[in-house]
């Protein structure tokens, strides 16, 4: 207890809120309960937006998307034990995606530690595996410096999550207001440039390429390198390929985008410049048969430990993508150069783009019912506003949707990401809608979900309705995981036994009315089976800027992607980034 009663007191909760505010943290997502409720209340009082979610996992996904979209970490606030454990999924996902995030967990009272306290769990240790920094302040007076360090660590170098543990007895404990010193807001992340000689060599490797390719990853999106990269692409007339979340850094409809010829471009390029994209499973590790055995990689990344993973690069450029792209541009300004637009490489790529686009248009034009994926996505693409956020998850829904649905702006696509996480969609959509509300009112969020993916965080529809976020949820429903049964086959199958005995594990209930989850909370719901119904309901949903809606789109339960070139023999059945 403080002896000086005349001095103003401040609670631990208020100190946390003020420390976050001082570090320019603007958004907090979470679920309150003992012992963190007061922290949420204090944050809200200081003008930090607090969004109450229905599961900590979704709250953590939302907070991590804030970090990617704004460059400043969002906070996920959770209770002790199970609350914290639910959030680990979101933390791991953020870690895999290299997105900044601050997780704040309440924990049991210090004097009960190791005694079997309520929801006691070794939280600081549990978070270490998923974070860049994980700590518990030793006193209330130490909270501001720990929060500053967490925020700073989350955005300096390769971005990532940080954890701050708050024992229950800190939350309501009062200390003398003068005993707490707030650490000034940390400086923006330092910008590091590439080594001059390496930049020079990189430029000359590009100049000498016969079949060059730029790959633009979500690191480039995070780095806000859109302007510089576009200049590089246009000035040097180079083909580029976005990764899933690299889509939109340069618009998908740019004439130099070779996304529709992805496999071909990867397989025959002789020089590949990687701007913030790791050579992991998404890029087939950079190895044959998906690439030439002697392809020269030029790797641009902010993380030194990433350079040289899986391949021996020809050139490594350590630093900020935006700065390094500008350095490359300087080289091409000094000695102008462009890749010949009449080269056979460009011809090959253009031809392949044409063939592949025609193949999906052909599938989209099929009139049979139930609809296939391509028909659905073409109709959706036709109506989408150019500036909307596109959130997407599901297996085929995400993979096929990505090839049809276009992005025109950077950091406007959010999906299952590096970790291939299902259940991220609603949290991401909520984060995007909150950012849109503050920065660009009227901007829409379209969330394209598989029926299985929707199920992971479906109760967040209540959150969407409570805050009246005009998100449009599309559930592309094939009655199952990867695929399902139609209602008749399902009934027929049940004749052979109880559902737990005979239903294949991938099955979900046929013709589930997911749209009623939305109407249950006052939003608009549509159940659609034809292209006309889809067009009409999407039009209505887009016109209504005051309400969320969910369009449940029934598709052929056995529908799948168009047949791929299987000669590559890469044996990946689930997500293949064609």
Buried b (16+ CB within 10 A) or exposed e, 494-514: eeeeeeeeebeeebbebebeb
Single out the segment in contact with ligand ADP by CB under 6 A; choices: 32-40, 105-113, 215-223, 525-533: 215-223
Q: Which stretch binds ligand ADP (CB under 6 A): 274-282, 344-352, 382-390, 504-512?
A: 274-282
Residue 6 CA neighbour count, 13 Å, CB half:
0
| Distance of closest approach, residue 512 Cβ to ligand ADP, in angstroms | 32
Instruction: From the list Mg ion, ligand ADP, none, pick the one residue 276 interacts with, judged by a Cβ distance below 5 to 8 Å according to partner type.
Output: ligand ADP
HSE (CB half, 13 Å, CA atoms) of 466?
11
Partners of 472 in the β-ladder: 446, 549
Does 370 help bind ligand ADP (rule: CB under 6 A)? no
Q: Minimal distance in Å, beta carbon 323 to Mg ion?
A: 43
Residues 476-515 interacting with Mg ion (rule: CB under 5 A): 478
DSSP string, 284-319: GGG-TTSS-TT-EEEEEES-GGGTTSSS--SEEEES
321 is an interface residue for ligand ADP by CB under 6 A: yes
CB of 415 to ligand ADP, least distance (A): 10
Least gap, CB of 321 to ligand ADP (angstroms)? 4
Sheet strands (E) in 121-229: 133-135, 161-167, 174-176, 212-216
Phi, psi of 300 (to 5 degrees): -115, 120
C-beta closer to Mg ion: residue 119 or 372: 372
Closest C-alpha to 547, from 475, 472, 474, 476: 472
Binding Mg ion (rule: CB under 5 A), the pick from 23, 452, 537, 549 is 452
- In angstroms, give the least distance from the CB of 484 to Mg ion: 6
The 10 Å Cβ neighbour count of residue 86 is: 18
In 3-state terms, what secondary structure has residue 77? strand
| Binding partner of residue 134 among ligand ADP, Mg ion, none, CB cut-off 5 to 8 Å per kind | none
Question: Interface residues for ligand ADP in 132-171 (CB under 6 A)?
Answer: 158
From the list Mg ion, ligand ADP, none, pick the one residue 451 interacts with, judged by a Cβ distance below 5 to 8 Å according to partner type: Mg ion
Tokens standing for 194? Answer: 């590439």
Q: Label residues 20-48 b or e (16+ Cβ within 10 Å = b).
A: bbbbebbbbbbbbeebbbbbbebbeeeeb
Distances (CA, A) of 442 to 68, 245, 315, 317: 21, 23, 44, 40
Beta strand 75-78 with 271-275: parallel, antiparallel or unpaired? unpaired
Q: Is residue 73 part of the contact set for ligand ADP (CB under 6 A)? A: no
Query: Nearest to ligand ADP by Cβ — which residue?
Result: 219
Cα separation of 257 and 266, whole Å?
A: 13
Closest approach of Cβ 450 to Mg ion, in Å? Answer: 4
Residue 248 binds Mg ion (CB under 5 A): no
Question: Binding partner of residue 219 among ligand ADP, Mg ion, none, CB under 5 to 8 Å per kind?
Answer: ligand ADP
Q: Which of 222, 378, 485, 514 binds ligand ADP (CB under 6 A)?
A: 222
Stretch that binds ligand ADP, among 10-18, 271-279, 359-367, 482-490 (CB under 6 A): 271-279
Contact footprint for ligand ADP (CB under 6 A): 97-98, 158, 217-219, 222-223, 243, 245-246, 276-278, 280, 282, 301-303, 306, 320-321, 418
């Amino acid at each position: 207890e403080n002896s000086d009663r005349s001095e103003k007191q401040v609670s631990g909760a208020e100190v946390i809120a003020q420390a976050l505010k001082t570090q320019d943290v603007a958004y907090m997502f979470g679920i309150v309960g003992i012992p963190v409720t007061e922290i949420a209340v204090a944050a809200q009082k200081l003008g930090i937006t607090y969004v109450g979610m229905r599961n900590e996992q979704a709250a953590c996904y939302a907070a991590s998307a804030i970090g990617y979209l704004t460059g400043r970490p969002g906070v996920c606030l959770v209770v002790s034990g199970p609350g914290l454990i639910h959030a680990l999924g979101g933390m791991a996902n953020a870690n895999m995606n290299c997105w900044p995030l601050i997780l704040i967990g309440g924990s049991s009272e210090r004097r009960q530690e190791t005694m079997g306290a309520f929801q006691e769990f070794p939280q600081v240790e549990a978070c270490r595996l998923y974070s860049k920094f994980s700590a518990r302040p030793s006193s209330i007076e130490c909270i501001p410096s720990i929060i500053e360090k967490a925020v700073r660590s989350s955005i300096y170098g390769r971005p990532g999550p940080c954890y701050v543990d708050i024992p229950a007895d800190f939350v309501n404990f009062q200390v003398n207001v003068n005993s707490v010193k707030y650490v000034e807001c940390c400086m923006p992340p330092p910008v590091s440039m590439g080594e001059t000689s390496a930049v020079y060599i990189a430029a000359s490797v590009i100049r000498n390429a016969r079949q060059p390719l730029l790959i633009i990853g979500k690191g480039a999106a995070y780095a806000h390198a859109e302007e510089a990269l576009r200049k590089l692409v246009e000035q040097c007339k180079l083909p580029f390929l976005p990764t899933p979340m690299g889509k939109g850094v340069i618009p998908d409809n740019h004439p130099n985008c070779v996304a529709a010829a992805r496999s071909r471009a990867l397989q025959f390029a002789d020089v590949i410049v990687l701007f913030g994209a790791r050579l992991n499973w998404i890029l087939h590790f950079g190895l044959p048969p998906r690439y030439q055995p002697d392809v020269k990689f030029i790797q641009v990344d902010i993380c030194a430990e990433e350079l040289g993973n899986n391949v021996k690069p020809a050139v490594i450029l350590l630093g900020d993508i935006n700065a390094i792209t500008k350095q490359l541009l300087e080289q091409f300004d000094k000695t102008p150069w462009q890749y010949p637009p009449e080269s056979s490489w460009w011809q090959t790529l253009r031809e392949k783009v044409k063939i592949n686009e025609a193949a999906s248009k052909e599938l989209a034009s099929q009139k049979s019912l139930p609809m296939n994926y391509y028909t659905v996505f073409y109709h959706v693409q036709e109506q989408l506003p150019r500036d909307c956020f596109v959130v997407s998850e599901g297996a085929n829904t995400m993979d096929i949707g990505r090839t049809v649905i276009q992005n025109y702006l950077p950091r406007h696509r959010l999906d299952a990401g590096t970790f291939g996480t299902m259940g991220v969609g609603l949290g991401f959509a909520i984060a995007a809608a909150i950012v849109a509300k503050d920065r660009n009112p009227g901007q829409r969020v379209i969330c394209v979900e598989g029926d299985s993916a929707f199920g992971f965080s479906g109760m967040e529809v209540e959150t969407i309705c409570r805050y009246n976020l005009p998100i449009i949820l599309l559930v592309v429903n094939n009655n199952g995981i990867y695929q399902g049964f139609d209602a008749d086959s399902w009934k027929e199958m049940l004749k052979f036994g109880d559902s737990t005995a005979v239903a294949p594990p991938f099955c979900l209930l046929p013709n589930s009315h997911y749209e009623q989850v939305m109407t249950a909370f006052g939003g608009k719901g549509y159940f659609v089976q034809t292209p006309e119904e889809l067009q009409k309901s999407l039009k209505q949903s887009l016109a209504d800027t005051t309400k969320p809606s969910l369009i449940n789109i029934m598709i052929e339960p056995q529908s799948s992607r168009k047949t791929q070139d299987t000669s590559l023999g890469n044996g990946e059945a689930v997500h293949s980034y064609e």
